Structure formats: C-alpha cells, structure tokens
Structure 1
Amino acid sequence: MDDSPRTPSIGERVRAARRAKGMNLDVLAGLVGKSKGWMSMVENGRIPLDKRADIAAIAEVLEVSADTILGGPADDVHARLPGINLVRLREVLHEYSLDDPPDVPVRPLDQTAADLRTLDTRLRRTDYDAMMRTLPGVLSELHAGAHLAEPDRSEALRQLITACGLAVIVMRHFGHSDLAWISADRARQAAVWLADPVWSAAAAYHSAHARPSANRSRALLATPRIADELEPHIGDDPMAHQVYGMLRLSAALAHQVSGEHDAARRQADEAARLAERFDTGDDPQAWELFGVSNVGVWRTMLAVEAEDPGEAMRISDRVDTGALASRNRRAALHMDRFRALHMLGRDKAAARELQKAERLSPAQVRHSPLIRETVRDMARVKDPVLRGLAWRMGVI
C-alpha cells in the first residue's frame, strides 16, 4: 500500500490562506466577483481552480502570491516527479554576479556559442540532465567573459542573456521559480550592460515568464509597453521581429490574466499577423521558436484561459505540430488541448492528450500546478490512463 503523502489541492491552499487572513467565504467570493457556492466548491475540490485569472484575483484579495496558492514543487520521491541536480547551477547563480564574476578561464566565444546551440538542442529534446552537466560551466565562463575587451565583451553579454533564458525555461518546467527569477534578473543585468534595445527586450521576455503568470508580476504586466517601445527598433532584423512577436504574445497573456479579453485578443492577432506578414513560417532557429505554429500554441492556451474550449480546439486543430522543433512546445499544445477537452466534458479524450504531452515532456506536465489541479478533479474517472497520470503526479 502506498502511504506517500497526498499533495494539497489548490482549493485547500486557498482555504488555508483565507482562514489565515481571518476572512469568511462570503467576503472572499464577493471580492473576487464569484458566488459563495462557486468559492465553496473550489475550496472543497468539487471544481478545479485552473484559470490563471481566477488564481490571480484570489491571490490579490488574500494578499498572498499566486505561488502560495499554486504550491511549490512537490516532493520528488513521494510525488513521483522527475528531478534534476541543481547544485552547480545554484552555486553559480547564488555565488557570482556580473560585478563579482568567478575566476575562471574563458574559452574562445565561438566555443561557448557552440555549447549554447547544443544546450538549446537538448532543451528541445527535454534532455535536462545533459543540460545541467554543461549549463553551469557555460554560465560561469560568460560571467567572466563580460569583463573581456570589446568586441568579445558584447558577445559574451549576448550569450549570457541566451544562457539565462535557457535556465529560465528549465527552472520553470521543474517548478523552481526562485532560480528562474534569478536567471532572468541576471539576463536583465547583462542587457543593461549591453545597452541594446533588442537584447533588452529579449531579457524582459525572460523576466516576464520567470514566475507563474497567475502572479501578474510587474515583469509580465510590462510586456505591452515593452513591445510598444521595441517596435521602432525592429527594422529588418529577423531576431528583432521574433522578439517583438513573442512580446506581443506575452502581452496577450498579461491582458488575459487581468481579465482583459479583448485586449488579449488584439495582441495575439498582432503576433499572428507578424508571423504571416514576414513569412517566418516555422524556422527552427527562430528566437523562442516564434512562427505560425508557435503562435497557434499560444492562442490555444489563451482560448482555454478565456474559457472558450471550442475555440481552443479549433485553433489547435490547425497547428502543424510537425513544424514545432521542440518537444516542449508540442507538449504545451497537448496540455492545453487536455484542458479544453476536460472543459467540454470529454475526459477520456482529454486523458489521451495529456498522455501524449507526458511522453514528450514528463517534467513539464507533472510539475504544472494547473495540470495537476485538473487531473485531481478528473481522478474520479475510471480510466487507467488517467489514473496512472494522477498517480505519477502525486494527486492520488
């Protein structure tokens, strides 16, 4: 018999935070614009709290971070979740800074650039263990490289922003928002030293996604303004267009979690027009894979967050998954199709979508608090695929 502790549901965390604040259910429901019955069902686990905007609103009223409600990474052993060795990465991020870099030799920067390309390939293949064997050392070198003479100094700073962006994604997939935030802030500092508007915008994108979007962090909410400020600088530089496009998608998410659905739609539409207008197609080398298919992945997620599962399925059906050069992005699409199908009451079909996502990127799926909450709500379904997923996520 498995006596592993069950991870608390999001609803249980909401109840604990509400009681700690001394607030009754009526008041909380009224302040977030919901009925008392809806709030009660959330706390009792009868309906899942799996929309970013709802989580953000409740966290704001209770004066806690969304991280508190979502919960940190569950115990890797008890919750059967994938883990990675973060000792070296923590040491680099905690011990060193651009002002106080490690005393290490810096290889020719074409060699560190080659390492970054390999790291990006490993990320797309979700080979996180291999990444952790290389990424900390590259980060150390690039911290030191920021003190080289020009033009190597600027190249090292650009590479450092790229390396920190890779770290943000991995840490986010494993639920380590603290390390993701430090990585993003290190990229921001490098961008300040570099003083290039495109790379500053790229670093701002990493900051916007270092914490769960339900936190409505200042970095995420700033993306509409940052995209506007970048627009005059994009010229004919492909990377600038790609950074600008990803910021428009981020701006759409910022509006969505703030309940501004029309503004979110306008931002996403602009990103879609940009992807088509500049014929970026689905370039596997595009910055953050900005292109027609990845825009489709984002718009699927935005439709789910807008509680329009039919539209989410229509959008996702048009996405060419074979054109997405990343297992992570393909997994993200299946994860949001899972959520949409659950909203449509098609739980068995939803379970198959989540199974596809898990095969592509186990850590990304099993560490997602939104997915875990929906799986918890579905665990009553007598489906072996779903029960297996629930067990691996530690919710049963």
Structure 2
Amino acid sequence: MTAGLDMTIGERIELLRRRRGLSRQTLASLVGYSSEWLRQVERKGRQVDRLSTLLRLAQVLHVKDVAAFMGVAVPQDRVEQLIQEGEPDIRAALLGQRTADVAGVAVPPGDLTRLCRDVNDAWTSWHHSAHRYSLVRARLPGLLARVYGCHAWHSARQALPLSAQVHRLTSAFLHSTGELPHALLAADRALAEARQAGEALLAAACLRGFGDVLLRLHSAGQARELCVAEADGLALDGEIAAEEVGAERTWLYLTAAEAAAFQQDHHEAERLMDMAEELAGGLRGSDIRTATPVTPVDVAAHRVRVEAVLGRTARALRLAEQVEEVDALHREGRVRFYLTLARAHLQARDQSGAVLALMQADRDCGEEMRCNVYARHLLRQAISQDSVTVRRDLHQLAESAGIV
C-alpha cells in the first residue's frame, strides 16, 4: 500500500476501493453496511469504531500493511485468519488491472470469434458438464485475461458484452465455491459492463447473478428491490422481442421471490412466484434465442425452494413430488433441485430422504459434493442426524466430498 499515513482512514478506503474497481455499494455490502455509511466514512470523516469492521475492510481491499491502513498495531496472525486461499488463480485474474501489463495477452482482432466461442463453451460446461467445476476452474483465469486484453484491440461494443459474460460466469463459479466477496465483485463488474454496452437482456441476467450473491450475503431486501425494479423496467423496452423479455422477467421474479422468502414475507414471495409462473406459462421456448430459456419445470422447481426457505417443509415436499420431467432441466438445474430437496428432508428430520437427494445430486455431478459449499453444508447436516440405515451411503458421500 502506498497511501500516505497523513491521509484519513476514509481517504485510504476510497483510494483502495477505486484501485480494486469496487463500487461504493459493493464494498459497503461486503462489510455489512449501507453505501451512505461508506460515503460518510470516505467523504465526511465518519469514524469506523469497530475493529472487526476495519479488519473486514482490510480483507476485502487486500491490504498487506494493515497497521498502516488502520493507524494502529494489529497482530498479523489475526489478519491472516481472515484471508482465505480459495481460488488464487481466478482471484488474481479477476483483480488484474486493464493496463499495459495485460498487453501480452491482448486478443488480436482475428481471434474475437474464437474468444466468443470459448466463452460460450465455458458457459455450456457450467450448465451441462458432469465435470463443470474442474473445466470452468481451468478456463476462467485465461478467459479473464483475454477479455481484459480484448479492450486493447476492440471497441467497447465488441469487448464489453464478452467481458460481462465472463465476469458473470466467474461470479457463478465463485458463488458456488463460497468466495462470496469476489463473487460479488465479479457480479458487480458484469452488471456494469452489460449496462455500459447497452445490452438490456444481458444486464438483466447479470443482475440475477448479483441478486443471488446478495442473498448469501444476507442482503435479501436489496436483492428483491433490484430484481423487481429491473423486471418492471425491462417490460417497458419495446425494442426486444416479447419472448426474450418474458424469459428474463421470469428469472428476475423468481430471484425476487426467493429474496422475499429469505425475508419471511410469505405474501410477497407467493405473489412474485405467481407472476413468474404466469409469464413462463405463456412462453414458447423455441423462440428464445438471446435470453436464458425458462420452462414451467424451472418455475416448479424454484417454487419448492421458496417454500423450503419459508420453512413450509411439508408443502415443499408435496410440491417436489409434483415436479415432472426433472431430467428436462440442465445439469446445474437438476443439482440445484436435488439440493433443495435434501434441505427440505433435513428440515423434516428425514435423513434417509435427504441422503437419497444428495446421492442424486452426486450422481448428476460427481464434483458437487467436493466443490459446492452449500452441498457440503447439507452433507454435514445429514451427518449430524446420524442413522444406522444410511450410515454407509453417508460415508461414501463424505469421501466424495473429501470430508473423511
């Protein structure tokens, strides 16, 4: 860190935030405060009076000299406890700056088509491959470097949509593996680039990813507000085909419904789910080209998740039995459904049902138990509800996850 010690703590925070490419809203969300609170810290000299908050800021901003940052002496081991290794190659690529030092990986004009194809292939792997974590983990650092270099050769119109898609995928991967601060950074960057490119449908998809991360960061109210506003605004854009608009609005309302469920707002969760179901019922999937396709099966599976989040376990399990053609979902969707089913069974203290659902998720993607932090959390919950009848299956799952 090169910021002078004569700077206030707020000035140091603002300088480092800008260097990291974080918006004020994103940094504030990562440390559990409002953007207005952070604005007052940066611009009006408001004091940060909690050590835990300062340490969290230091972690998110990747401060090495914490004592200089805070103006106090802090035991280094305390700081190191807060730093998680996670995905160092992806994190390093994500935090790389679009400056002259990426010129060596800049994408020549003739390779833009290839880059577009590689980005689409990476997304296909994430949705459909049984080895989606290892494949995407191997590709993301190179894709991030290439889209940063793409800005050196191509216009914003060409570079920004590709960059937004790569950052959106980065966020999805880091979200699943549990690196929420970096997932939020990637989602924020994807959304900003999609909006700068003027790509309304892509921006809506990026906002969904942003909302998903906010849910895991306990900012359900913000996620709900953003998704509903985006869905309502997208409906007013008459330049996009109705089927495309309907698909993205459906996904946004589904995310908003889950956010309302996290807030235990039963009425609003049901209202938003009904809106999504009505929209999805009127869509013809074959006409959807640019937006993310959505079917009644997607909506039915999501309703099960909303009911489970609301704590209405019996209803969630009844609805799960009514979900037909689960195999019609792509692999990621099937895994998500089986994990939701496992959650509902665990809430009902039905360990056998939970283990069966986890085994179905493991069958669809053998890497899920090892890489998906949510799956690992459910597995640990299942282990805590020890039962002789499923102990052997649990041991096999625990081995798959690397827990034993």
TM over 0.5: yes
| Cα distance in 2, alignment partners of residues 302 and 289 from structure 1 | 20
1:119 deviates by 0.7
State whether residues 221 and 260 of structure 2, in contact with CA within 8 Å, keep that contact through their aligned partners in structure 1: no
Partner of 2:328: 323
Structure 2 Cα separation of the partners of residues 237 and 156 of structure 1: 26
Is residue 383 of structure 2 the alignment partner of residue 379 of structure 1?
A: no
Residue equivalent to 1:105? 106
Higher-helix-fraction structure: 2
Kept in 2, the 8 Å contact 1:300–1:336? The answer is: yes
Query: Which stretches in structure 2 are left out of the alignment for 5+ residues?
Result: 1-31, 34-49, 57-84
Structure-1 separation of matches of 2:149 and 2:243: 29
**Counterpart selection for 1:297 from 301, 313, 319:** 301
Q: How many residues align?
A: 314
1:232-381 alignment runs, 5 A limit: 232-233=236-237, 235-236=240-241, 238-280=243-285, 287-317=291-321, 318-325=323-330, 327-366=331-370, 367-368=373-374, 370-372=377-379, 374-381=381-388
Say if 1:310 and 1:267 are closer, same or farther in 2 by CA, change over 3 A. same
Aligned to 1:173: 176
Cα distance in 2, alignment partners of residues 239 and 112 from structure 1: 24
C-alpha distance in 2 between matches for 1:240 and 1:147: 32
Of residues 122-131 and 256-265 in structure 1, the stretch that sits farther from structure 2 once superposed is 122-131
Cα 1:115–1:375 change in 2 (3 A) is same
Q: Is this contact kept in 2: 1:213–1:220, CA < 8 A? A: no
TM-aligned CA distance change 1:257 to 1:100, over 3 Å:
farther
**Mapped partners of 1:370, 1:254: distance in 2:** 20
1:155 paired with 2:163, answer: no
AA at the equivalent of 1:353: A
The offset of 1:231, in angstroms, is: 1.9
1:168-199 residue CA offsets vs partner (Å, 9 max, x unmatched): 22112211212212211220231242134333
Q: Supply the distance in 2 between the matched residues of 1:106 and 1:358 (Cα, whole angstroms).
A: 38
Q: Distance in 2 between matches of 1:90 and 1:281?
A: 37
Conserved? CA contact 1:330–1:357, under 8 Å: yes
1:202 aligns to what?
205
Name the amino acid aligned to 1:280. G
Is the Cα–Cα contact under 8 Å of residues 220 and 262 in structure 2 kept in the other structure?
A: no
CA contact (8 A) 1:101 1:143 kept: no
Question: 1:299 deviation in Å?
Answer: 1.1
Question: Aligned-pair RMSD on alpha carbons?
Answer: 3.2
Q: TM-score, with normalisation over the residues of structure 2?
A: 0.68
* TM value normalised by structure 1: 0.69
**In structure 1, distance between residues paired with 2:349 and 2:290:** 37
Call closer, same or farther: CA 1:242–1:252 in 2, change over 3 Å. Answer: same
Equivalent residue number for residue 130 of structure 1: 135
Cα distance in 1 for partners of 2:400, 2:359 equals 11
The question of whether the paired residues in 1 share the 8 Å contact of 2:262 and 2:310 is answered with no
The alpha-carbon deviation at position 241 of structure 1 amounts to: 2.7
Percent sequence identity is 19
Instruction: Name the SS of the counterpart of 1:247 in structure 2.
Output: helix
Deviation at 1:340, TM superposition (A): 2.1
Secondary structure (helix, strand or coil) at the match of 2:264 reads coil
Task: Give, in whole Å, the separation in 2 of the partners of 1:205 and 1:100.
Answer: 32
For residues 282 and 292 of structure 1, what CA distance do their matches in structure 2 show? 15
Alpha-carbon distance between aligned partners in 1 of 2:286 and 2:123, rounded to the nearest angstrom: 20
Greater gyration radius = 2
The answer (yes or no) to whether the contact 1:249–1:295 under 8 Å persists in 2 is yes
Deviation at 1:209, TM superposition (A): 1.7
1:88 and 1:343 mapped to 2: Cα distance? 37
Q: Does the Cα contact within 8 Å between 1:293 and 1:319 map onto a contact in 2? A: yes
Match for residue 92 of structure 1?
93
Question: 1-side partners of 2:143 and 2:352: how far apart?
Answer: 44
Residues 52-101 of structure 1, C-alpha deviation per residue, up to 9 Å, x if partnerless? xxxxxxx99xx999xx9xxxxxxxxxxxxxxx98343222211224x778
**Of 223, 228, 239, which residue of structure 2 is paired with 1:224?**
228
Quick check: 1:337–1:353 contact (8 Å CA) kept in 2? Answer: yes
Q: Structure 1 residues 335, 286: closer, same or farther in 2, change over 3 A?
A: farther
